Chains A and B, each alone.
Chain A
Amino acid sequence: MITVLGLFTLTFLVIAALATVQSRNLFVASMWFCIFSLMMAANFLILDAADVALTEAAVGAGVSTVLFMGALSLTAEHEHVRERSGWLPALVLGLLFAVLFAASFEQPRLGDPLAPVHQHVAPFYLSETPRLIDIPNVVTAILASFRGYDTLGEVLVVFTAGIGVLSVLSFSPKKNQQLSGEGVAERVRGVQHHAILRVAGKLIIPLLMLFALVVQFHGEYSPGGGFSAGALFAAAVMLYGILEGADRSAKAMPQDWMLRLAALGAMLYIGVGIVCMMLGGNFLDYSVLSSKPVAGQQLGILLVEFGVGLTVSTVLIMIFNAIANRSTY
């Protein structure tokens, strides 16, 4: 049964990708991209990657579609078809695909237990995590502790994106680009005139935020963690922005506070690392945080995950507010 589902999702994935590239109307393209991400998330689930599926759904399907929609509302709806000569890239890429296809025969089969991937480093994590860190979700253990430095780098990437969007969009648009008066009011006020949507939305938003917090603090035991929690929290605020109007969400979550909170999240992560150095361990070595190393690891992971969640959510909210309020910014 799983194989049939796997075959279906993979094939549908390719169909979604082709449809995205071919469709002329850009809104349709971004919707197809949302389907593509959902199919990707389903695929990850089939391949036993629960954390990644949750994050891909929240970030890939949710947030990036909102960003694409926001950007398209400010730029163009249709793509003017004047493609460049398509045959040369097509030829080169066809060659690339042939090479990949030929190489796949020498790669280990899907799920083959003897593959080198399962030999060297992976068994260590699976066997040592209960002893060293003793939390059920091995992915979060690796994410926060074994390869904590990667995740720190990851937080910095998100933070740089936040700064980048702020500084790029900080220049107020020139007058002639300003949408006409009524066009602005209508778009910014969101979908207020759809009563059903607003009432249903009002119910969902608090639940969504609560779920985000559960994912955040329950990350050691179930799939989830900083990234998906941050994305979910941002999704809740975006939903509020869409329903009640972007200016209301910008007032609720002011930009400069978002920037300071994002900086706080990153500083929390770096601070934990430096405290470990102060207490004699290497950078990001949580075992020195408390008397018992295992308790120290768990405390470190909790703090670090919270830092990640804080930064990711505030940066995504900041980006959404910057794009959604562009015309009145």
Chain B
Amino acid sequence: MNDSALIPLSMGVPLLGALSIALTGRSPFLRDGFMIASAVGVFACVLGLLPTVQAGGRPSAHLLSIMPGLDLAFSVEPLGMIFALVASGLWILTSIYAIGYMRGAEEKNQTRFFACFSIAIFAAVGIAFAQNMFTLFVLYEVLSLSTYPLVAHKGNEEAKRGARTYLGVLLGTSIGLLLPAMIATWWLAGSLEFQPGGIMQGQVSPTVGSFLLLLYMFGIGKAALMPFHRWLPAAMVAPTPVSALLHAVAVVKAGVFSVLKVSTYLFGLDYLETLWTSDLVMWVAAFTLLSASLVAMQKTNLKARLAYSTVSQLSYIVLAAMLASQLAVVGGGMHIVMHAFGKITLFFCAGAIYVAAHKTEIHEMDGLGRKMPITLFAFLLGALSVIGAPPLGGLWSKWHIMLGAVDAGHALLIGVLLISTLLNMAYLLPPVVRAFLLPPPKGTPEGIEEAPLMCLVPLSLTALGALTLFFMADPLRNLMWTIFPGAGT
């Protein structure tokens, strides 16, 4: 099974899955079977590509050329490999969790839900493997459009308003800013191919380049930089597996992945350094990072707090990209993985608490630890990973980003990162502390016990994943270093 056949397969399988789910809407059992089968299939294909990429190979597949210089083509490089692995890996767990959750909460028209689910993974994998900015833009739009029905799933007035902001911001930024940026790049640099070291070096003057950088950074709405982060909390109206998908696996990761890809492969790190706007965007990211954490602290709703925490964590990666140092980019890449595992565990726990105890507010969680020990323990592990405490994987990525900051000469940023770590503790630990140490309030019904097994298994697996990543960070780090040929420290 040579590699170039694996790429179209890894994208064909979710599409076929979506189709088969749509067709077998009648029998839930068959449909869920197809769901899990396609998730596993995708993961297998992506895994198949890993050995060649680790060995430094770049398998690629050319699909179609629409216009001279503009074609849909795919090639796998380490950053894309990592994102695809994370996305398809966590996808299996999310699917199992979603089936359990949907059965638990008896949601209606689940067929449409699961079909859009698989189309979203198709788009995520496609973005990971995009060879040029045009293919990435196409699948970026497909991802926005396919996740719209998921956000607007409940169909009530509130869901409709949330979905409207969701789509408004995402489509607005992509058509309004990203499209002109892309066309300008095509016009000035002559091509949109992702090449190590970037394509703008000799072609685009720094002044125009800095303006383009602004267009790109704010154009990629999914990276949720202020003021374009509104869509993320607005998407909270969606059911929990969707917010897990949105906020941990596919949508946000696609955003920051595109930021990393654009800055390393379109601009190129050393060209990025010469642009004065890279510092500007870096400080905007830093501002987003801190203000989102402050806002998260005031939120009493658990899912809203996690949403704002995601906004601030995303800015870590944007910050890393803007530092324009190889160390920071490696840290950013690793952070995609660490944050994914950490955040998805938190979302799974929030979902499990909702399904089992119908509690959404943090002050209602007093004494829940006695009733749901596993969920809350997994919540603790997830929180520690997001904070970046030692036994969890989150530490390494923050470590590398800080090293990158020093390497890029912005020592001040280490202060910002430290303050943000303190803030993370301030808003992630209280729910755990309340659940374990405080007695349950008087009138709580006795019948609360652990969430159904279908929810419990995925969240404990992801928590363990976050833990093992602490020890297993090295292969990930080496894979990231292969992005920069010759560096390899």
A contacts B: CB pair < 8 Å: no
Chain B positions near chain A (C-beta within 8 angstroms):
none
